[in-house]
């Protein structure tokens, strides 16, 4: 399954003009099946949109502001870091924030939120005012495709390094919706802007302007903060801990290259990487695979390497990492930052969100 996922992922991010030169015979043979599946998916999307347009399916509305953070493609767009960024924002600190999502619940345990599945959130939307008093605001992680819930602010994240792939719908391409769905966005944030070329960023901005001229566009990056030792979150270590060391970057996230490039900026002696599929739950056999790679690195460089995980991967199953003993296991903590670009700054981003939030709160308080 892991091998098939990698083959399909490569198809999704290979331009159509480069298929015959960059894809294997096996991958080329998969394209007709993927194309047919993509057509069925497109048809299902169209029917779903029509049902909402005709009122046969309807949106539920909460009596509190709802912020949705979503994207158009699978994984690696910075949705969860943006949710954390918003939730930690001082203006919202006094509100009873709740984060609603279907995955990655463990990653949010160190924040003062409550994890509630979307069906339960929709139950709240039909409930009494006393139930809704438990909420001050709702932040939806990966909420763009949840049309059943009305949102007051739609933030869409875009990966600045690999934005649209081959521009085809799942499973032939990475798109969960057609590109014109970006017209629903109130704000677009281009993530990994520090790693993307100016040419890529300009192309993305041009595409967005063609779809919606007035769309506010901001840029963000992941800034490494510190490491902590696996099993001891209180033991914070500076980023320089891995300087001139041999490291193995292990991850199961949507865009592992950004994680590795962040580590390479700290200038280890050598940075190797071992990637698993997005949302992968590590098992004993995975620890054996990681151990094998670590032993090879140790034999190659004559010193014990350090294995580094992302915070998100660590939180899924921290106990299993004990099987990597006697190798040191570090966890990289990073935070999302708004990159000043083209007159758009973190302050202007917060001002925009504040204006929308305050207008919604005023409207709610008048009801």
Q: Look at residue 99 in the predicted model and tell me its pLDDT.
A: 57
Q: What are phi and psi of 331, to 5 degrees?
A: -120, 125
In tens, the pLDDT along 91-146 reads 555 555 555 543 333 333 334 334 445 555 565 555 544 455 555 677 888 889 98
In tens, the pLDDT along 144-197 reads 998 988 888 999 999 999 999 999 999 999 999 999 999 999 999 999 999 999
Q: What are phi and psi of 111, to 5 degrees?
A: -100, 155
Query: CA 38: distance to chain centroid?
Result: 23
Q: Look at residue 354 in the predicted model and tell me its pLDDT.
A: 84
Distance CA 195, CA 156 (A): 19
Q: Does the pLDDT at position 253 exceed 70? A: yes
Query: CA 108: distance to chain centroid?
Result: 13
Q: Kindly compute the dihedral angle of the four CA atoms of residues 246, 248, 254, 257, in this order, to the nearest 10 degrees.
A: 30
């Amino acid at each position: 399954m892991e091998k098939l996922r990698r083959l399909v992922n490569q198809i999704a991010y290979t331009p159509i003009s480069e298929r015959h030169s960059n894809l294997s015979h096996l991958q080329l043979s998969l394209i007709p099946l993927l194309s047919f599946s993509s057509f069925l998916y497109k048809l299902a999307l169209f029917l779903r949109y029509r049902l909402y347009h005709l009122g046969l399916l309807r949106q539920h509305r909460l009596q509190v502001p709802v912020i949705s953070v979503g994207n158009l493609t699978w994984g690696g767009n910075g949705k969860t870091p943006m949710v954390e960024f918003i939730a930690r924002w001082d203006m919202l600190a006094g509100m009873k924030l709740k984060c609603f999502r279907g995955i990655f619940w463990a990653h949010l345990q160190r924040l003062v939120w409550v994890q509630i599945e979307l069906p339960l959130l929709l139950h709240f939307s039909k409930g009494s005012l006393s139930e809704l008093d438990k909420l001050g605001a709702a932040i939806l992680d990966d909420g763009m495709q949840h049309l059943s819930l009305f949102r007051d602010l739609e933030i869409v994240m875009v990966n600045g390094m690999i934005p649209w792939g081959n521009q085809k719908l799942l499973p032939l391409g990475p798109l969960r919706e057609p590109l014109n769905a970006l017209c629903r966005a109130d704000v677009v944030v281009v993530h990994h802007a520090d790693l993307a070329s100016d040419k890529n960023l300009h192309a993305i901005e041009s595409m967005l302007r063609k779809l919606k001229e007035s769309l506010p566009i901001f840029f963000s990056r992941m800034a490494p903060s510190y490491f902590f030792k696996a099993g001891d979150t209180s033991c914070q270590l500076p980023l320089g801990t891995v300087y001139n060391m041999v490291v193995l970057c292990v991850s199961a996230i949507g865009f592992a290259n950004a994680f590795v490039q962040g580590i390479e900026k700290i200038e280890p002696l050598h940075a190797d990487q071992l990637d698993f599929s997005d949302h992968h739950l590590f098992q004993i056999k995975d620890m054996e695979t990681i151990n094998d790679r670590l032993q090879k690195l140790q034999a190659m460089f004559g010193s014990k390497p350090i294995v580094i995980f992302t915070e998100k991967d660590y939180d899924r199953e921290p106990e299993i990492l004990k099987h990597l003993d006697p190798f040191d296991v570090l966890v990289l903590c990073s935070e999302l930052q708004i990159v000043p670009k083209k007159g758009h700054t973190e302050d202007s981003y917060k001002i925009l969100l504040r204006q929308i939030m305050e207008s919604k709160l005023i409207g709610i308080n008048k009801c």
